[in-house]
């Protein structure tokens, strides 16, 4: 287990040694509170786009199902007649210049794995830049759009926003509710009181303070051929190598077990690079990975490599709430 994995386990399971990090946590809290206070006071270089901006993010380190929910938001907004675009930091991307328009045919090393996934699945206009304000301006200069979705960016206070949607893993929650480095929070827990909606990934029903959503396995897709097969392609009890380089790999492995397969788990760091040699496992079994991993592996995939496509399913209450917000932000639509 890596140092990062051990630290994450301590955040969520609790460990007395984390108390030694409290002085660093206090310093971190002071910095992020100062940044937010400046934003709320309107101080500094804050960009307000001419169209509504919806930030989809979290206050915890690690995966919360953000990419599948953004895909759902793209399709839902389109179904309401809206022209939607996405901006992203493009973590791990190395484009020739910034801002950079992501295209479906680009390599993940250039575009970033999550932005490339969003574009390949939905065709959405998408711009990457660590300066999300600059990304929004560039995207609007390139495309006539009605709405911008910001992939993460909760703490990017140079960008004004009209809605903040925060995702929380229902199983892991907020861990020990402490800020970095003593806990998994990017901002103090009271920050949640100021957001527009909380969405709990994996909650059985809508909690009192927010909405539930789930990630539903949809289909198996072969990396090499693009062939789609139903989930019944692998019978119950099927042993397979399971690869996950996401914020919370265990969620993926749990999903496969819930489908009654027997995954041999291979957890990698979030956004990890891959090669055929790295993914050469023994014994010889089918290999199944997340869609986010697949965008980096198609060029060297073997015949029996697959990825599991999943769809986000928010609760009906959230859908109703969102439609009211869209009507408020875009009343003539």
Q: What tokens does 221 get?
A: 């897709």
pLDDT score recorded for residue 142: 97
For 39-81, the pLDDT digits (tens) are: 999 999 999 999 999 999 999 988 889 999 999 999 999 999 9
Residue 292 has a CB neighbour count (10 Å cut-off) of: 23
Query: Given a cut of 70, is residue 333 above it in pLDDT?
Result: no
Q: Are 139 and 85 in contact (CB under 8 A)?
A: yes
Q: In the 8-state DSSP scheme, what is residue 235?
A: P
> CA 249, CA 305: separation in Å to the nearest integer?
18
CA-angle at 179, arms to 127 and 292, nearest 5°: 35
Query: Given a cut of 80, is residue 4 above it in pLDDT?
Result: no
Query: Which residue, 282, 277, 276, is CA-closest to 297?
Result: 276
pLDDT score recorded for residue 150: 98
> CA 153, CA 19: separation in Å to the nearest integer?
29
Q: Are 176 and 183 in contact (CB under 8 A)?
A: yes
For 78-115, the pLDDT digits (tens) are: 999 999 999 999 988 999 999 999 999 999 999 999 99
Of the pLDDT bands very low, low, confident and very high (cuts 50, 70, 90), residue 2 is low
Q: Are 130 and 152 in contact (CB under 8 A)?
A: no
Task: Name residues whose C-beta falls within 8 Å of residue 177's C-beta, 6 or more positions apart in sequence.
Answer: 183, 185, 189
Q: Are 89 and 151 in contact (CB under 8 A)?
A: yes
The rounded percent of the chain whose pLDDT value lies above 70 is: 98
Could you give the domains of the chain? Answer: 3-212+314-329 (3.40.50.300), 215-312 (no CATH)
Query: Given a cut of 90, is residue 218 above it in pLDDT?
Result: yes
- CA 286 vs CA 72, 148, 222, 233, 239: distances in Å: 29, 39, 11, 11, 8
Q: Are 212 and 206 in contact (CB under 8 A)?
A: yes
> CA 82, CA 69: separation in Å to the nearest integer?
17
């Amino acid at each position: 287990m890596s140092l990062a994995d051990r630290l994450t386990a301590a955040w969520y399971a609790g460990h007395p040694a984390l108390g030694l990090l409290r002085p660093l946590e206090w310093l971190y809290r002071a910095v992020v509170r100062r940044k937010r206070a400046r934003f709320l006071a309107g101080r500094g270089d804050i960009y307000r786009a001419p169209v509504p901006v919806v930030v989809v993010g979290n206050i915890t380190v690690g995966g919360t199902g953000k990419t599948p929910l953004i895909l759902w938001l793209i399709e839902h907004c389109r179904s309401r007649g809206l022209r939607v675009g996405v901006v992203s930091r493009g973590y791990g991307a190395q484009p020739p210049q910034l801002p950079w328009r992501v295209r479906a045919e680009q390599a993940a090393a250039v575009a970033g794995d999550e932005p490339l996934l969003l574009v390949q699945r939905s065709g959405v206009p998408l711009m990457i830049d660590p300066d999300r304000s600059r990304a929004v301006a560039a995207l609007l200069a390139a495309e006539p759009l009605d709405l911008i979705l910001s992939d993460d960016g909760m703490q990017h206070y140079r960008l004004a926003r009209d809605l903040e949607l925060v995702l929380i893993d229902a199983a892991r929650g907020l861990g020990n509710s402490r800020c970095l480095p003593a806990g998994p929070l990017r901002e103090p827990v009271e920050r949640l009181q100021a957001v527009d909606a909380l969405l709990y990934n994996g909650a059985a029903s809508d909690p009192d303070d927010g909405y539930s959503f789930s990630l539903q396995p949809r289909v198996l897709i072969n990396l090499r051929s693009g062939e789609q097969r139903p989930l019944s392609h692998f019978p119950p009890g099927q042993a397979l190598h399971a690869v996950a380089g996401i914020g919370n790999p265990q969620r993926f492995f749990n999903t496969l077990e819930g489908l009654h397969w027997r995954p041999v788990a291979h957890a990698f760091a979030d956004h990890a690079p891959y090669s055929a040699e790295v993914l050469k496992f023994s014994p010889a079994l089918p290999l199944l990975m997340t869609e986010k991993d697949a965008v980096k592996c198609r060029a060297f995939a073997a015949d029996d490599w697959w990825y599991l496509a999943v769809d986000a399913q928010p609760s009906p209450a959230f859908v109703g709430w969102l439609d009211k917000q869209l009507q408020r932000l875009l009343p003539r639509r």
